Amino acid sequence: MNFDVVPSSWYLILSALLFSLGVIGFLIKRSLITVFMSIELMLNAVNLSFVTFAHDWHAVKGQIFVFFVMMVAAAEAAVGLAIIISIFRARATLNVDQIDLMKL
Amino acid sequence: MHLVLFLIFAAFCLAGAINLLLQSHPINSALSLIVVMSSLAVLYLLLGAEFLAAAQIIVYAGAVMVLFTFVVMLLNVGEEEKTHGSRVAKVIGFPAVAVILGVVATIVLETQKHLAGVSLSDGVTTTQDLSRVLFHELLLPFELTSVLILIAILGAVALARKEGHS
């Protein structure tokens, strides 16, 4: 067995597994902040498959796409956490079962 | 050598992600997410993306996760309450996850022969290559993200501000 070459498909399978774990976390976690972390996990999983394909096809643009995803994710994290803070101020809870109305 | 490194850090990634699901305190989940993100940075390096590996550490494992831990500590979030969970998630959600994973894994394994392998001798995509494309062909989207980030900062400040303080 050649120890220096890893098939690209292994990276893609790892990415799919991480994405599924993110979806499961999104479904089973009851704390708003952990649900948000699961979303970040899904974003990271997709980034991994972008980088794998960029490597496979020698395309630099795939890596630039990941760069843009990172920037959007950073902006999204700042706004999302601000929303979580204002929800906590209004409801005094972060349990998603008790946050089921759109209005504050 | 590449195989060994891949297996070690893929195992770290999966272990961190599973630990994120098992922990009931958000701060423990946040710390396992940092493990996942740092191991992903190593995997990016193995794939020859040196700039993205550094950006992953600085932006994700650094900035984003500091924001998360900061909010967890600011709100003094306790242990998560165990409730029965949503019925829709059980009926539709988990089968859908299984189907997505099954379909993606099947497609990847079917098309495996069209994909090349990854080895350490493939060379790296330098920051120079990346910036040449970014600043020649994609300058407008790059400049537009600065507007996006400005709006995000304003939105975060407006949302997190206490009511009554203007």
List the single residue in B29, B64, B133 with the smallest CB-CB distance to A73: B64
Q: To the nearest whole percent, how much of chain B has pLDDT over 90?
A: 63
Average pLDDT of A45-58?
92
Interface test with B, best of A26, A57, A60, A97 (most B CBs within 10 A): A60
pLDDT, position A75: 93
pTM for the predicted model, two decimal places: 0.91
Burial code (b: 16+ CB inside 10 Å, e: under 16) for B53-86 equals bebbbebbbeebbebbeebbeebebeebeeeeee
The band of A90, judged by pLDDT with boundaries at 50, 70 and 90, is confident
pLDDT, position A74: 92
CA dist B56 to A96, B35, B50, B100, B158, Å?
29, 12, 10, 26, 28
Fold classification of A8-91 is Helix Hairpins (1.10.287)
CB contacts of B125 in chain A (<8 Å) are 54, 60, 63
Per-residue pLDDT of chain B (166 residues; tens, 9 = 90+): 888 999 999 999 999 999 999 998 999 999 999 999 999 999 999 998 999 999 999 999 989 999 999 999 988 887 877 777 778 878 888 899 999 999 999 998 888 888 888 877 777 888 998 999 999 999 999 999 999 999 999 999 998 887 765 5
- DSSP assignment string, chain B: -HHHHHHHHHHHHHHHHHHHHH-SSHHHHHHHHHHHHHHHHHHHHHTTBHHHHHHIIIIIIIIIHHHHHHHHHHHT--PPPP----HHIIIIIHHHHHHHHHHHHHHHHHTGGGS-EEEGGG--B-HHHHHHHHHHTSHHHHHHHHHHHHHHHHHHHHHHSPTT--
pLDDT, position B166: 52
- CB contacts < 8 A, A to B, total 245
CB contacts of B17 in chain A (<8 Å) are 17-18, 21-22, 25, 41
Question: Is A35 an interface residue toward B (CB < 8 Å)?
Answer: no
Residues 59-98 in A contacting B (C-alpha not used; CB under 8 Å):
60-61, 63-64, 66-68, 70-79, 81-86, 88-89, 94-95, 97
Domain definitions of chain A by residue range: 8-91
